[in-house]
Structure 1
Amino acid sequence: MSGFIDLQVNGYAGVDFNSDDLHESDFVAACTELACDGVEQTLATIITAPMDQMVSRIARIADWIDSVPEIRKQIAGIHVEGPFISPVDGFVGAHPKHAVQLATIEAAGRLLDAGKGYVRLVTLAPEMDSDATVTRFLRDRSVVVAAGHSDASLVELDRCIDAGLELYTHLGNGCPSQLHRHDNIIQRVLSRSDRLMISFVADGHHVPTFALRNYLRCMPSENVVIVSDAIAAAGLGPGEYQLAGQTVYVDDDGAAWAACRTHFAGCATTLPRMREILMRDLAATAAEVDAWMRDNPKRLLGYTPATSAAL
């Protein structure tokens, strides 16, 4: 199977996209490995960091998309995950709390300017975006806006949906392991799944397969997107890896843990492996998986039939 469209890749095959020491040749090598694993188009993901670092990391990848054909072929754009996310423990996940900030047009504009038109997706927490001002600002500039790492109320979710929010990033993650049994972010987002596309990390760790089966059953198939949330460890097996300056440990089962071992920090599973898990453990059909891993993310990014044929 090939033709995967992955909206969330933090690194791959030993290469950390969020490293300040990232070299062009290493990035090309990661793009080559992604293509070998059947991924046709990727959004390189830059996560929360101090603003100057985020700007530098985004600008570097944007410059390479402009100048390096191998990178331009693989990298469809940049996904900026943060810094406008919840600072609350659990919801902040593996993102550095000290670098989280409220969403402002000034800060969002800096990120877009650094990306030179290649920022295609921004994940933010609606409760950090007062009156959905930044959501509206991003949509007016043709950027897909996702919610994530968030404990938004239904009112806050609806306000951002009305302003153009289209996606929720890796539902079931970026939240505490213990939640209110009914009124929690997972239930709130699922209740809006007719208005929102929702991405999931289908590695069997981030969301147990029985829970993922329940989530998929209660939402429209056309709104499901599978993402890898891959880090440098993707495809390499157990060991110690880096993600934006923090150490991540991949255990013998393939789960990627933050140093504190209390939460995951990205994912070490490739999309071909996720496809196997979905079809074997969830009895998803080939047509469903193709939609979730190719057609739906293409539609979200605005590919027309003509542009899709060129991928």
Structure 2
Amino acid sequence: MPDSKFFDLQINGYFGVDFNQDDISADDLHNACAALERDNVGGVLATIITDDIARMAARLSRFVQLRIADPLISRMIAGFHIEGPFISTKVGYVGAHPVAHAKEATWDEMTLLLDAADGLARIVTLAPEQDPEHDVTRRLAKQGIVVSAGHTNASLDQLDASIDAGLSMFTHLGNGCPRLMDRHDNIIQRALSRADQLYFGFIADGAHVPFFALKNYLQITGLDRAFIVSDAISAAGCGPGLYPLGDRVVQVGEDGVPRAEDDSHLIGSGTTMRRMAENLERELGLTPVEIDRLTRMNPRRIMGAAIPAPTRYVAKNGVHPATAP
């Protein structure tokens, strides 16, 4: 592998520390960042997932405060990936997100989250069908925030309209959807049919996407439009056991995979980026240069499309540059 550090665009926790707890401590977050650094990660987007809007905003504000006070946290957490709450409420598509808080997008609620993130929102994952007029997508894209489809069963027309409004990415393709879907007309095939217009995130742990399927997907998207995320929860780097994620406790088995109690869906990943890079080499036969592209270069290139804080984001109570459609 080249002498380079991974960059993870989607991480929910690490080394026993849950990023979606209400009052994460400075010590816990520092320790999680130190563990990431030891595991050759050069930066991450801390991912805040679907919950009550006020609680999501409070968690974002807490991270902002902790970044200011700690140089290591500031260096490791480059910004935020806000995943939800504007996602599908349908079984399977909602995934591990609490369905009670999944909802249709409004700019007022999106603004509450952006204000709390204090200019550090880099990616917002939403379902195009939950932004039916694509107003939120359009306004986010105008601010330079990457809009990504995820936990969605958008039709091809809805996906195309969202792309026209500024959608540019798809979150952890192959996940956030039911196990049983139409053989051909399904969200995975719809998304792949737009491979020339979207970037695609993949979780390379072998559980979220079988390695043979991941190889097929990468052949369709091409390496320039793909990237690897860990989607790690607090179990990453720890092994089997019980681990927190928001208000729930997740069981991680001997295989290191966090699953729902009824095994109906996965709940994030327990795999580190280092292990995923090893999987790409061992299971897919990718070269060190190709792995570096998927785990460092492409994520940083996508980050380059997101605004540096806070040049284009107006402070709280100000006028947002994208308030006009």
TM range (shorter): over 0.9
Q: Could you say if the C-alpha distance between residues 303 and 286 of structure 1 is closer, same or farther in structure 2, counting changes exceeding 3 Å? A: farther
Aligned partner of 2:29 in structure 1 is 27
Work out whether 1:55 is the aligned partner of 2:57: yes
Aligned partner of 1:98 in structure 2 is 100
Per-residue deviation, 1:131: 1.8
Aligned partner of 2:224 in structure 1 is 222
Q: Partner of 2:33: helix, strand, or coil? A: helix
Q: 2:139 aligns with which of 137, 140, 146?
A: 137
Name the CA distance, whole Å, in 2 between partners of 1:240 and 1:173: 22
Q: Partner of 2:134: helix, strand, or coil? A: helix
1:141-156 to structure 2, matched below 5 A, reads: 141-156=143-158
Aligned partner of 2:41 in structure 1 is 39
With normalisation by structure 2, the TM-score equals 0.92
Q: Partner of 1:130: helix, strand, or coil? A: coil
Aligned partner of 2:174 in structure 1 is 172
Per-residue deviation, 1:151: 0.4
Name the CA distance, whole Å, in 2 between partners of 1:65 and 1:79: 15
Q: Partner of 2:289: helix, strand, or coil? A: helix
1:223-242 to structure 2, matched below 5 A, reads: 223-242=225-244
Aligned partner of 1:285 in structure 2 is 287
Stretches of structure 1 that go unaligned for 5 or more consecutive residues are: 305-311
Name the CA distance, whole Å, in 1 between partners of 2:250 and 2:223: 33
Aligned partner of 1:120 in structure 2 is 122
Contact 2:172 2:201 in 1 (8 A): yes
Name the CA distance, whole Å, in 2 between partners of 1:91 and 1:180: 14
Q: Partner of 2:159: helix, strand, or coil? A: helix
Name the CA distance, whole Å, in 1 between partners of 2:243 and 2:12: 12
**What letter matches 1:107 in structure 2?**
E
Aligned partner of 2:251 in structure 1 is 249
Contact 1:247 1:259 in 2 (8 A): no
Name the CA distance, whole Å, in 2 between partners of 1:299 and 1:58: 24
Contact 1:194 1:220 in 2 (8 A): no
Q: Deviations over 1:82-110 (max 9, x none)?
A: 00000000000000000011011101101
Q: Deviations over 1:10-55 (max 9, x none)?
A: 0000000001131111001000000110110100000000111101
Contact 1:44 1:77 in 2 (8 A): yes
With normalisation by structure 1, the TM-score equals 0.96
Contact 1:77 1:118 in 2 (8 A): yes
Range that drifts further, 230-239 or 57-66: 57-66
Q: Percent identity?
A: 51
Contact 2:24 2:62 in 1 (8 A): no
Stretches of structure 2 that go unaligned for 5 or more consecutive residues are: 307-325
**What letter matches 1:272 in structure 2?**
R
Higher-RCO chain (CA-CA 8 Å, sequence separation at least 6): 2
Work out whether 1:75 is the aligned partner of 2:77: yes
1:187-226 to structure 2, matched below 5 A, reads: 187-226=189-228
Name the CA distance, whole Å, in 2 between partners of 1:259 and 1:70: 36
Per-residue deviation, 1:303: 6.8
**RMSD value over aligned CA atoms?**
1.2
- Which contiguous aligned blocks of 4+ residues in structure 1 show a shift greater than 6 angstroms? none
Name the CA distance, whole Å, in 1 between partners of 2:137 and 2:182: 27
Contact 2:20 2:245 in 1 (8 A): yes
Name the CA distance, whole Å, in 2 between partners of 1:228 and 1:26: 19
Name the CA distance, whole Å, in 2 between partners of 1:211 and 1:260: 24
Name the CA distance, whole Å, in 1 between partners of 2:195 and 2:205: 21
Name the CA distance, whole Å, in 1 between partners of 2:194 and 2:204: 21
Name the CA distance, whole Å, in 2 between partners of 1:220 and 1:209: 16
Q: Partner of 1:131: helix, strand, or coil? A: coil
